[in-house]
Amino acid sequence: MVSRHSVKRRLPSQEKQPHSKMKVLIIFVAIVVIAFAQGPQGPPPFLVGAPANVVAEFKQIITGAPDKTDAEIDRDIENWVARQGPKIKTEFNKFKTQMQQGKARAEAAHRASIAKFSPAAKAADAQLTAIADNPNLKGREKQQKITSLLQSLPAAVQAELQKEMQGSSLRW
């Protein structure tokens, strides 16, 4: 099953350190988008206690994420954070650190999953990862391509990938 918003995944051989900050922001955006979409549980931790107009401004940025590339989202968020007060900046940086730690755990789990995959599932995972990592695609385009690819896979491969995704916190 594919979540409404894609989250970037990389194979260990594709890992490039200079893009690490950008990947953390992308994961962050996906989590925040999902949190906002789920409703009234409140804003992300760095916005707890923030004025309603600040929360609304951030929500506006996140709401537009599916129609932007990863670089555009990163730029918008970084620009937004730069305009905020010290409390939000500090809390945002703490949240990013937590996201980096979660990303490291998710990547380790992904590597373990790949090791157990059949050759067909490994090939599908590589294709899904390539779509998720494509910097030229907008979020909505990634979602459509991932959904299309998943639907085109044999049922056994779909089941194998879905089983692993259910045990993972990271989605394509």
In a domain? residue 151: yes
Mean pLDDT of the chain: 80
In a domain? residue 29: yes
The reported pTM is 0.68
* pLDDT at 72 (0 to 100): 95
Give the tens place of pLDDT for each residue, 90-103: 999 999 899 888 88
In a domain? residue 7: no
The answer to whether the CB of 75 falls within 8 A of the CB of 31 is no
The answer to whether the CB of 120 falls within 8 A of the CB of 159 is no
CA distance 125 to 150: 10
In a domain? residue 2: no
CA distance 161 to 120: 10
In a domain? residue 5: no
Q: Domain count for the chain, please give it.
A: 1
**What is the arithmetic mean of pLDDT over 4-13?**
39
- The domain of 89 spans 14-166
In a domain? residue 101: yes
In a domain? residue 158: yes
In a domain? residue 9: no
**What is the arithmetic mean of pLDDT over 24-51?**
69
